[in-house]
Amino acid sequence: MSTAHQLVSLETATAGMTLSDDILDQQGKVLLSQGTVLTASTIAALGRHDIALLPIIISGGPAAVIDEAAVTARLDYLFRGSDAATANPILHDHIAAFRLERGVAP
């Protein structure tokens, strides 16, 4: 996810909104992929899959700016003293990718 987004409840979602992220079903299968523009029928379909909140791209305003240095510094603090033999370094990398919106490494 690289764009500014907000969470919109399914009830207030309207046709024309664009998904900022993939929507998964209960089994983790992609129902609608990132960038899909919602229609009345896709909104109804999501209701049948127990989806309640949708990540929607905020149009107009500038994308939120991530202070990379601040995020990195805080993460280093949270993971201070982590032992290399634990899974902490992997978790650290995943969280960094999440916070810095780098997405999945190719």
Q: Which residues bind other proteins (CB under 8 A)?
A: 1, 7, 9-11, 21-22, 24, 26, 28, 47, 50-53, 55, 74-75, 77-83, 85-88, 90-95, 97-98, 103-105
- Which is closer to other proteins, CB of 40 or CB of 83? 83
Minimal distance, residue 74 CB to other proteins, in Å: 7
Nearer to other proteins, 37 or 53 (CB): 53
CA distance 37 to 27: 23
Q: How far is CA 59 from CA 29, 39, 40, 81, in A?
A: 27, 17, 19, 41
Is the CB of residue 51 less than 8 Å from the CB of residue 10?
A: yes
Provide the pairing of β-strand 23-24 with 5-9. unpaired
Q: Which is nearer to other proteins, 37 or 44 (CB)?
A: 44
